[in-house]
Chain A
Amino acid sequence: MAGIMAYGGYLPAHRIRRSRIGEALGTRPGAGTRTVASYDEDTTTMGAEAARVALHGLPGPEEVRGLFFATSDPVYLDRSNAAAVHAVLSLDPSVPAVDMCGAVRSGVGALRAGLHAGAPTLVVLSDIRAGLPGGADERDGGDGAAALVVGTDGEVVAEWIGDAARTEEFLSRWREPGERHSRHWEDRFVEEVHVPAGRLVLEEALKSAGLTAADVDHLVVAGASRRIAAAVRAAAGVDEHAAADDLLDSVGETGTAHLALRLAAILDRAGPDEVIALVVLTEGADALLFRTTGLLAGRRSAWPTAAQIEHSSDDLSYATYVSWRGFLPREPMRRPLPPQLAAPATRRIGAWKLGLVGSRCLACDTRHLPPQRVCGACRALDQMRPDPVAGLPATVSIATVDRLAWSPNPPLIYGTVDFDGGGRLQCEFTDTGPDGARTGLRVRMAVRRTHSRDGVHNYYWKARPERGEQY
């Protein structure tokens, strides 16, 4: 039985009210909010966070035998972004990690490829939608990621029961490499292509599964405006009640990630034996059908997207938003930039730097973060075992707000956190302001982009406040 073995979503801790965009630019105020990746987040870090959530749903990450990473906003070209996600997850080096970047259709393509892979495969979809100020992508887009572990071993929470595809070469949205924003053809023309294509693939997928439109319990139409999505549903004859929350009011349209984020939101609450239809409209259309199983109730995501939205702030200012997206360059601090990265030094410390794997003394059981060779407690030499701590909660023991230190988003907030089960780490804090960092705060670790220099983006772990995790 092929299908979804585990899943997880990731939404940033920040949202901006669309009314604030209108207030700042003097344009028509929109309703609701969109999610905003923080200054230290990108598609790689968000994808890694979603993948961490998804892997919580598996008995062991060693089950994963492949990784596909898809985004329309890759951090690097030429260099693999999937490999960074692989490193954050501490997957075995024998697991291939492959990028599928560029077109939005890469997302559903990665999911298809995973379903066909024949072995449990982690599909990570992540996107940042940053259009020009005042444009539709800025208003309607959203930032987020979702990850699905798909496989064929029978232990699935949702069985893959049908699919269909159609490819249509036409001009709807486009962006040249290096450009910061996409351009669009008019929506009414796009509708003329998308509605029949979506209807066609949905009908074909239902037919391949021996189902009819009436059997659909949850319908997702991704890659489309609300009007087009409604038109596809109506054309295919699916009941209006099956139209799942499109997340457009709270999150926005998250590009490559959107189909999986919406699927995750459905899986967070669906019952057994329910049919979920995914329709993704891009240069053509894809339809994928799933039926939930009895395993779902016991294997839901340990960090539901609804909880993430609940534990996020919608108080972001427009000036901060455009600064974070690079549309409002700020005067840099009169401080030296962090040093250049040395590739060999970075590789040597890779398991710690990206995997947050510390060491624990075999002689006296003391945990060391970062890993040490000589025990700080009993001085034993090379008596250490690897001790991963990325998934452990911790408590802030000392916090400092430093207005002198270099930061891409001053002030720099840092201190020490003490992990449950032992060990202390000095690290930066993120997703919290100067008033939020204090002794006793419960935190989780998140991998973030700390700084960029010479075209190299540095990833390392920071502590962030808890946000309703159930693990």
Chain B
Amino acid sequence: MADRGITGRVAVVGAGCTRFGERRDAGADDLLIAAANEAAASAGIDLADVDAFWLGTFGSGHAGTALSKPLKLDNKPVTRVENFCATGSDAFRNACYAVAAGAYDVVMAIGVEKVMDSGQAGIPFFEFFDDGTAVPHTPPGTFGYLATGYAQRHGVADADLRAAMTHVAWKNHRNGALNPRAYFQREIPKEVIDRQPLLAGKLSLLDCGGLADGAAAVVITRAEDARRYTGKPVLVKALALAAGPGTGAMDPGHDFSSFPEAVAAARSAYAQAGIHDPRAELSFAEVHDCFTITEIVLMEDLGFSVRGTAWKDMVGGVFDRDGALPVNPDGGLKAFGHPLGASGIRMIFESWLQLRGEAGERQIDNGRTLALTQNIGGDPGECVCLITILEGPSR
């Protein structure tokens, strides 16, 4: 089975990202226009110079025209991509492949979501004709399985798990407080996080990433052409996507303490990038903290922590911005906000800033040049996972 990857063949040469949040002022079109033009300007090009586009959106538009119409693109190729919460990163992945294949010189991957107009809590857009056998569960409910499953498998006491989950929320809000584009730009004391009423399972509202409106975009070229656009290109070292068989909720052997899809994607990504000890080799990681417990479980699935110990590492500050391996230095889904189709590209945007030394107050300076971004799309037991590994210039 081939899994060759395209290590070192393409580079990110420009990036843009809107402010995330309850953007009552902006529709999806406005967000796309802002992110696309910021990314193009960052690469020093005109949108007319872009050969092809990949648009990631979970439900805020259909078809390539969702992008070509607001931008008034003149018959350019535009592909609309959807892969749940890995939508944006999969748009990026496919755009990278097109450049690596030699089909285009300059492409853009752009993600957008406009969710806050619905007037209802949770993710809108679910409306299919169906057979009436689906449990109307919510993401907090099914991701809540993780907290129960993780505690059951590793014998973690409620109070200990609560402390670790609280630390994730506290850390990511603390990071988001330094991010002018984040939805929530304030710290939240641990005592406040600890005493929230439960929303689903062991999760409270402050264990949930904040759904948000927003858009993010990047410009991609062949690696050898990158320096025409920027002196500090960011190389794509790995692109790994795993779609699981979806048997977690029908297999009594599945204990909801791990994402097998993330383990598989990480194995592929590390092989492509030549990484052997991610905790030591990565400068930082942007992971899919849709819920606090998700981030804890991912620390083990991605090989950052030994099984059963991520909750201790978390509380011990290993993943703080000044820790051994900073995770979600931009605030993550938790504080930056989660416009589903944009989140994957937002992570690449943050990596672009950090690896180039442009992250301002939240800049990480540990001398390492590799970054990992990761998204989960779907529910525990039935999901996709997408991982990218990026390399910045030595600084």
Contact = CB atoms under 8 A, between A and B. Distances in A.
Interface of A: 334-336, 338-342, 345-346, 348-349, 352-353, 368-370, 372, 376-377, 397-407, 412, 414-416, 418, 422-428, 439, 450-451, 458-460
Given A370-B250, A397-B252, A414-B137, 15 more contacts: A340-B129, A342-B129, A345-B129, A349-B131, A353-B133, A370-B133, A372-B250, A400-B148, A402-B144, A402-B200, A404-B121, A416-B145, A425-B249, A439-B148, A439-B152
B135 interface: yes
B199 A339 contact: no
Contact of B140 (A349, A397, A402, A427): A402
B191 interface: no
Given A335-B120, A353-B131, A402 B138 contact: yes
Contact of A349 (B120, B133, B148, B252): B133
Contacts of B252: 397, 418, 422-424
Contacts of A403: 198-200
B129 to A, nearest CB: 4
A424 B251 contact: yes
B251 A376 contact: yes
Contacts of A368: 250
B136 interface: yes
B25 interface: no
Given A336-B120, A401-B198, A439-B152, A346 B132 contact: yes
B141 A405 contact: yes
Interface residues of B, number: 38
A398 B133 contact: no
Interface centre among B131, B200, B251, by most chain A C-beta atoms within 10 angstroms, is B131
Contacts of B200: 400-405
11 contacts: A338-B132, A345-B130, A369-B250, A400-B142, A412-B136, A414-B135, A414-B137, A423-B252, A450-B132, A460-B132, A460-B133
Interface string B111-141: 0000000011110101111111111111011
Contact of B121 (A334, A349, A399, A423): A334
Contacts of B394: none
A90 to B, nearest CB: 16
Contacts of A369: 250
Interface centre among B119, B200, B245, by most chain A C-beta atoms within 10 angstroms, is B200
A423 B250 CA distance: 6
Interface centre among B126, B130, B133, B140, by most chain A C-beta atoms within 10 angstroms, is B133
Nearest to B129: A342
B131 A346 contact: yes
B131 A345 contact: yes
Contact of A412 (B131, B134, B141, B152): B141
Given A335-B122, A339-B127, A415-B145, A405 B138 contact: yes
A338 B144 CA distance: 21
A453 to B, nearest CB: 9
Nearest to B202: A400
A333 to B, nearest CB: 9
Interface centre among A339, A404, A412, A451, by most chain B C-beta atoms within 10 angstroms, is A404
A334 B118 CA distance: 10
A334 B129 CA distance: 21
Contacts of B58: none
Contacts of B149: 398
Contacts of B53: none
Nearest to B205: A404
B132 A341 contact: yes
Contacts of A418: 252
Interface in B227-285: 245, 247, 249-252, 254, 256
Contact of B135 (A340, A342, A376, A426): A426
B249 A424 contact: yes
